[in-house]
A and B are shown apart, each in its own frame.
Chain A
């Protein structure tokens, strides 16, 4: 038997391969959850705010959305009538300005390029172009007196199919996905429901009342704080896929190692 063949037959090679595979899977699995920037409060917009906002808009947004925010087909939609809530959601979660073309904009606190004041100026400018949903009242964001159970019922009917019953997100078509809702500011969750960013449908105040939206947020904060956890490793709480991945890599890896040991001749 040549030395090459001897090495090829070595069970150690299999183990090393297995270990490498597991390491890569584990690394890919690690979730990256940045802390979102604090939300901007609804400021009473003055004429100066609108003008300052327009300057910011022309410098940062007009390339894609047009100099009058009328939209540039097909790279940027019209922003007339999207409202201050939409601007606050997109800009203060770091989704806009879009750093690079892609299937969808991603939440990234490191990409937030404007101060709270600048964001409210931008929002005031876009809001002045046409009426749209406003930044939510503090009253619905403090989660005091919110009904967590009712929020859970509303969440399961309206949100869970895309964002997963544990709020950790899920896949959509063609590379798009519903992002995780863990670690998202209440204000941004509220604004997303109100404005329907990207693939997400709109849930206006007739569909989910402000109180119901607050309930949903309270439910999400409750499960974020472990309210849904019954112990043990959550494995990302992505449902059976995560559990299966764990069992198929770790479990089968251990079984293969055991089979090799049993099958080996004792020296």
Chain B
């Protein structure tokens, strides 16, 4: 049964230490539509108008969908050139939804009952008779199917149903793909491979990398003309793991002996794949020698073997050892000597993943 709230006993300050008296519920004020039939009729008309606007908009949407050229462009002041087809579809569908929403709320606020009511809880159990009948039905079924006597049926049926889950689950788990193997440890870089400018694909002389220069580099054969015959997905994978940034520095500012040893006369090559989540680390500030990752602001110090000096990355960028070939171009002296890019569980324990192909 329902009780109107203004029939409830008034609440008074029962908590002993209340600093304020409990004001209780405010008195119920009838709405204008409750007391004035004219106001009620007006509210009803407003609701009808809102619903009608929605209906007209829906029809306009359909008309516009077929009548307006999808390529039609127009200019709206304050926004600029827009596709009118999309704008009209959006406006009419928006008005259509808005009309329904505003109409429903206006209806509920002005005309539907506005008294708050309390609905008492009732017990959640079913009546005893019903419960007994269900128990009897179950018990009767159990006995008439002879499962109480022939337990082998129960066991074998359970086994069959349980095992049937495996054909469903195993392909899903196995379909997660082959475990990664050597490819996580190796890139295409190898000794003697030239460093090529991305995207033009021209080789680089060490003397060309002037102080303060940055070259964005790809391995020879994977950029420019040479890459035209390679499948696009293979190129993307190579780019994702083998991209390199080459900078020209004054060797006297470099603090790491290993960095100097692996570079050529102030020219250093580092993996461009962030050790945090693998974004291309390419924002190089030539005055501070900071290399900044655009995704999460990890900052690497180019004068100290790309140590992390800020941000979420936890490992320095791997350095690519470089040297000069017979014709004076920069080449890799070796492949990367550690896995590039983000961490993975088996990174420090290659035995777990290194298969025959690694």
Contacts and interface: CB of A to CB of B under 8 A. Distances in A.
Interface of A: 150, 153-154, 157-158, 161-162, 170, 172-173, 176, 178, 196, 198-204, 206-207, 209, 212, 226, 229, 231-234, 261-262, 265-267
B194 to A, nearest CB: 14
15 contacts: A150-B199, A157-B199, A157-B216, A161-B282, A173-B299, A199-B287, A201-B212, A202-B248, A209-B200, A229-B81, A231-B80, A231-B82, A232-B80, A262-B105, A266-B109
B213 A207 contact: yes
A154 B285 contact: no
Interface of B: 29, 31-33, 73, 78-83, 105, 109-110, 114, 197-200, 204-205, 208, 210-216, 247-248, 280, 282-288, 290, 292, 294, 297, 299, 310
A234 B80 CA distance: 9
B284 A173 contact: no
Contacts of A150: 199
B205, B214, B247: residue with the most chain A Cβ atoms closer than 10 Å: B214
B30 to A, nearest CB: 10
B31, B210, B285: residue with the most chain A Cβ atoms closer than 10 Å: B285
A231 B73 contact: yes
Contacts of A229: 80-81
A234 B79 CA distance: 8
B200 A266 contact: no
Contacts of A209: 200
Contacts, number: 92
Contacts of B294: 161, 170
Contacts of B208: 204, 206-207
Contacts of B31: 266-267
B81, B199, B208: residue with the most chain A Cβ atoms closer than 10 Å: B199
A201 B286 contact: yes
A154 B114 contact: no
Contacts of B248: 202
A170, A266, A267: residue with the most chain B Cβ atoms closer than 10 Å: A266
A162 B285 CA distance: 10
Contacts of A176: 285
Nearest to B43: A266
Given A265-B114, A267-B32, A206 B79 contact: no
A153 B297 CA distance: 24
Contacts of B211: 202
B199 A206 contact: no
A203 B214 contact: yes
Given A173-B292, A265-B109, A266-B33, 8 more contacts: A153-B199, A154-B199, A161-B280, A170-B294, A172-B292, A200-B286, A201-B284, A207-B215
B213 A162 contact: no
A176 B285 CA distance: 10
Given A206-B204, A265-B114, A173 B285 contact: yes
A198 B248 CA distance: 16
A204 B214 CA distance: 9
A158 B292 contact: no
Contacts of B80: 229, 231-234
Given A207-B208, A207-B213, A161 B283 contact: yes
A105 B175 CA distance: 56
A209 B282 CA distance: 20
A173 B213 contact: no
Contacts of B297: 173
Nearest to A230: B83
Contacts of A157: 198-199, 216
Contacts of B205: 206
Given A201-B214, A204-B210, A231 B83 contact: yes
Nearest to B286: A201
Contacts of A266: 31, 33, 109-110, 114
B287 A198 contact: yes
A206 B61 CA distance: 57
B210 A202 contact: yes
B327 to A, nearest CB: 15
A73 B221 CA distance: 46
A171 to B, nearest CB: 9
Contacts of A153: 199
A176 B210 CA distance: 23
B212 A202 contact: yes
Given A154-B199, A201-B247, A207-B213, A172 B283 contact: yes
A89 B346 CA distance: 51
Contacts of B83: 231
A200 B214 CA distance: 9
A203 B200 CA distance: 14
Nearest to B285: A199
Nearest to A264: B109
A212 B299 contact: no
A231 B32 CA distance: 48
Given A173-B290, A207-B208, A212-B200, A201 B213 contact: yes
